[in-house]
Amino acid sequence: RPSADPGTPMALRHLARSVARTPMMGVARPFSAKADPGSILGSNDGGFQKDRAFASSGESGREFTYLLLGGTRFVYASAIRLGVIQFVSSMSASKDVLALASAEFGLDEISEGQTITVKWRGKPVFIKRRTPEMIAAEDAVNIAELRDQETDAVRVQNPEWLVVMAICTHLGCVPISGAGDYGGWFCPCHGSHYDGSGRIRKGPAPLNLEIPPYKFEGDSKVILG
């Protein structure tokens, strides 16, 4: 601090005192993570420290962050999984729909050579009980002459019984049983003729009568579907 002798003018003495009292702005101060509100380099606004999301530093704050993010992702994943399960369950067929998907019919009252028409899934189905002569006639057909080439053996599970959809493969009409040039079915809409195996023999229909899924339960019952 500069000394002031009695001979120094009063103004110079006041100037020396002001300089001595002024802090040294050029002196480096050590960095502090928490600034002193009263220091020159710090900030008087302490709200940042008070309102921080993680006031504490170190591993504890990081662990809390990981826990929060992990828990949120688990909740999202659980919600997505629940939504997928509900969607798949809604697409499954209910019990009443499954019951309508199959139908059971008795065969005892159908005599040889007779054809009955039943309903399955809203569509007509022919069930024909064939005689030995009918079976032999269909086995003797030359498949090279057929438009839709199928042997009789691949169209039946039991040669005595023929089960076919009662829908013409041309435009969906219902053929007449026991009519036509081949002793099977005749479609009056456009003149398609089917034989005793449900195979197209003449007319505009491109394919044989369709075979629905079915199975026999014993000798007296057939289940469609």
Structure tokens at 172: 């969906």
Catalytic residue of the set 14, 170, 190, 193: 190
How far, in Å, CA of 198 to CA of 192, rounded?
11
The widest CA-to-CA distance across the chain, in whole angstroms, is: 153
User: Tokens in use for 197?
Assistant: 């195996």
User: How far, in Å, are 116, 127, 170 from residue 120 at the CA level?
Assistant: 13, 12, 20
Contact 120, 103 (CB under 8 A): yes
Residue 190 annotated among the catalytic residues of the structure? yes
Query: Which residues are known catalytic residues?
Result: 190
